[in-house]
């Protein structure tokens, strides 16, 4: 059985849900993050469409029991702006446009997504940038409690 491909006039969300739930895709790619990548590749979207689709599903996991995507950050906008509308300075890693932080919830989301980061920024650099950004936003309470001592030492 071949992997699914988009049907004529099938929108991206419907194709992704169908592709992710497809028995062949599930069998060959049991890890949902791998399956997301494969389904994006299977789409016939142009390269810009694929990049947009990848960004849309970047912070999502696929819940096999529900056969639907669940946002890890539960937010698709950042203070009403789409990720693509944010300035580079809104990201802790502006070169890779990783860790958008414009609200207190984004501070928490950045902490929880550190483990998936593959860029060159060290954890200490990340932590220092996030503490500075959280203070600027008045979101110190969104930082992990165990960071308080190191945060106090730098002020």
Are residue 44 and residue 92 in the same domain, yes or no? no
How much is the average pLDDT of 114-119? 80
Are residue 67 and residue 107 in the same domain, yes or no? no
Are residue 39 and residue 82 in the same domain, yes or no? no
pTM greater than 0.85: no
pLDDT beyond 70 at 148: yes
Domain region containing 20 = 12-71
Are residue 91 and residue 126 in the same domain, yes or no? yes
Q: Bridge-partner residues for 71, per DSSP? A: 60
pLDDT beyond 80 at 44: no
Are residue 87 and residue 143 in the same domain, yes or no? yes
Residues 6+ apart with CB under 8 A from 76: 56, 82
The count of C-alpha atoms lying within 13 angstroms of the C-alpha of 45, restricted to the half-sphere facing its C-beta, is 19
* Inside any domain, residue 49: yes
């Amino acid at each position: 059985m071949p992997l699914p491909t988009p049907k004529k006039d099938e929108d991206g969300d419907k194709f992704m849900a169908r592709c992710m739930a497809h028995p062949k895709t599930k069998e060959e790619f049991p890890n949902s993050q791998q399956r997301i990548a494969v389904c994006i590749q299977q789409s016939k979207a142009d390269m810009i469409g694929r990049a947009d689709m990848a960004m849309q599903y970047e912070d999502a996991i696929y819940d096999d029991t529900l056969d639907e995507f669940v946002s890890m950050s539960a937010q698709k906008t950042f203070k009403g702006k789409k990720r693509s509308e944010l300035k580079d300075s809104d990201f802790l890693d502006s070169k890779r446009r990783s860790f958008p932080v414009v609200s207190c919830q984004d501070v928490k989301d950045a902490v929880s997504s550190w483990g998936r980061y593959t860029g060159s920024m060290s954890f200490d650099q990340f932590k220092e940038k996030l503490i500075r950004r959280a203070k600027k936003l008045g979101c110190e309470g969104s930082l992990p409690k165990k960071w308080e001592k190191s945060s106090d030492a730098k002020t």
